[in-house]
């Protein structure tokens, strides 16, 4: 059985792995392949580098598997603090994972369309390119929906950190700020009319509140609970 510090460090390493493996599929590869508002250029990128998008899909799937294991590791770390809040954390993560798995089908559909297989011969090349671009847009919108869960899970996480006694309360406050920032990002993604420069910047700044806990879990890590001194008779 791991000690509190060992369990925190294990969760921290999973957290780092999740971030590192998720960035290619969620950020770098889409930015390299998708040209905003240009279906033809985007389709040409997909035809030239189909394996790059497949790598992005693999990145997203692996990222979600690690996310699920991270939630379980955090449950083991915090269940003695507040079991109800720890269960809420796991459930919110568990709700997001299958949505992200299904959402990658939109990217696979885009790859099929730009490949122009024989059963799609009734569609012209421009039509197929436009449909491929549509599916990539749907994938982006799907991530906007999942952002809601990616913000909500930080709420029980922040509360647990604040109540734990073995992690600084300030990290819990920052997690709640990160939850607010992530929720702003989710709302502006689903409701673009809410988006403006001030709101977007506020959301991005608040979202940074999630970062300190990732490092702290690994080093310096959690404090070991103090051994209780038996009461003198």
For the residues 175-186, what does the mean pLDDT come to?
Answer: 94
pLDDT above 80: residue 27: yes
pLDDT band per the 50, 70, 90 thresholds, residue 192:
confident
pLDDT above 70: residue 34: yes
Token duo for residue 188? 């502006």
Q: Are 181 and 204 in contact (CB under 8 A)?
A: yes
- Rounded to whole angstroms, the Cα distance separating 170 from 127 reads 53
Closest CA to 181 of 159, 162, 209: 209
Residue 229 has what pLDDT? 44
Q: Are 141 and 97 in contact (CB under 8 A)?
A: no
Kind plus residue range of the DSSP H or E element containing 129: helix 125-152
Residue 217 has what pLDDT? 94
pLDDT band per the 50, 70, 90 thresholds, residue 69:
very high
Q: Are 90 and 82 in contact (CB under 8 A)?
A: no
pLDDT band per the 50, 70, 90 thresholds, residue 194:
confident
pLDDT band per the 50, 70, 90 thresholds, residue 228:
very low
Q: What is the pLDDT of residues 78-92, one digit of tens each?
A: 999 999 999 999 999
Q: What is the pLDDT of residues 121-153, one digit of tens each?
A: 999 999 999 999 999 999 999 998 899 999 999
For the residues 176-201, what does the mean pLDDT come to?
Answer: 89
Cβ neighbours of 205 (radius 10 Å): 12
For the residues 169-178, what does the mean pLDDT come to?
Answer: 96
Residue 226 has what pLDDT? 61
pLDDT above 70: residue 233: no
Domain residue ranges in the chain = 4-218
pLDDT above 70: residue 231: no
111 half-sphere exposure, CB direction, 13 A CA radius: 14
Q: What is the CA radius of gyration of the chain?
A: 21
What proportion of the chain, given as a percentage, has pLDDT over 70? 96
């Amino acid at each position: 059985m791991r000690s509190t510090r060992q369990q925190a460090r294990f969760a921290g390493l999973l957290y780092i792995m999740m971030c590192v493996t998720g960035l290619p599929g969620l950020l770098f590869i889409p930015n390299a392949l998708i040209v905003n508002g240009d279906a033809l250029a985007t389709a040409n990128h997909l035809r030239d580098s189909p394996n790059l998008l497949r790598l992005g899909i693999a990145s997203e799937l692996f990222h979600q598997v690690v996310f699920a294991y991270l939630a379980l590791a955090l449950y083991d770390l915090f269940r003695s603090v507040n079991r109800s809040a720890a269960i809420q954390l796991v459930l919110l993560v568990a709700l997001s994972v299958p949505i992200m798995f299904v959402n990658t089908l939109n990217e696979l559909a885009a790859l099929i369309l730009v490949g122009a297989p024989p059963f799609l011969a009734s569609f012209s090349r421009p039509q197929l390119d436009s449909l491929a671009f549509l599916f990539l847009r749907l994938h982006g919108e799907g991530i906007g929906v999942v952002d809601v869960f990616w913000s909500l899970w930080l709420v029980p996480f922040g509360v647990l950190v604040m109540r734990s006694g073995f992690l600084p309360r300030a990290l819990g406050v920052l997690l709640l700020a990160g939850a607010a920032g992530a929720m702003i990002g989710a709302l502006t993604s689903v409701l673009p009319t809410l988006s403006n420069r001030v709101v977007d910047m506020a959301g991005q700044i608040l979202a940074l509140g999630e970062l300190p806990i990732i490092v702290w879990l690994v080093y310096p890590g959690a404090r070991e609970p103090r051994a209780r001194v038996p009461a003198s008779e």
